[in-house]
Amino acid sequence: MPPSPDYAVDLADHYDDWFTPPTATTDATVALLDRLAATAPEGPMLELGIGTGRVALPLAALGHDLHGVDAAKAMVEQLRAKSGGAEIAISIGDFSDVEHEGRFGVIYVVNGTFFELTSQEAQMHCLTRAAARLLPGGLFVLDAHLPEVLAAGAGAGGQPVQTANGDPVTRTRRIHPSTQRYTSDYEVVHNGVVRHIRVAFRYASPGELDLMAAMAGLRLRERFGGWSGVPFTDSSNYHVSVYELPA
């Protein structure tokens, strides 16, 4: 999970080093979004929480008209410095609320970022706003942990996180059922200095997501057991849900 925008100013220079998923995950994410875009209305794609462009830049390289929203200017500056980054239209602000011109064939949010919206109201508002930005028949795509999996791993203690530059990172998750939230605490050792990062999330079950989406005017089109496109089953650790705005 990525750090929230509150930490992005301090972490932007090291975000790709510490919080980039394995290359295979990125490749699978890009491939599935590319495939879904081929089944959506012709139009640009919008990434909510575009960050440093891990997913957006490869999609743009495939020929998609990419747009993005992010609250952290420092993160966007990292994206702009990369090849192709200057061509992406990006709005700065809360991705659940910011105005961004145009309507889109696909709107997506990856890496659990949707759940950095830490209230049901904020998540509902985001879905409603996304529906208003979609073309008829357009798709809204997000990934999400399952609450049962979060609960099972909450007492497992610190877990090592693979990093791109080899800096040691340990993540500890704590679940708070009374508020339907969980926190991820990261300890990062960089140049001999230990840094602590805490990020809060609000989790939701697939059923709650489906209900919120329906209230926003979206319907579930399909659900996968991961970005690889495997079926969603009882043994899945997380899901990728694809919602559609009825034409």
Please state the pTM of the whole predicted model.
0.93
pLDDT in tens, 151-167: 887 767 788 888 888 88
Can you name the residues that pair with 183 across neighbouring β-strands? 174, 200
Report the pLDDT value the prediction gives residue 3, as an integer from 0 to 100.
Answer: 41
N-terminal to C-terminal alpha carbon distance within the chain:
33
At position 16, the amino acid (one-letter code) is D
pLDDT top residue among 152 and 65: 65
Calculate the average pLDDT of the chain.
Answer: 91
pLDDT in tens, 16-26: 888 888 899 99
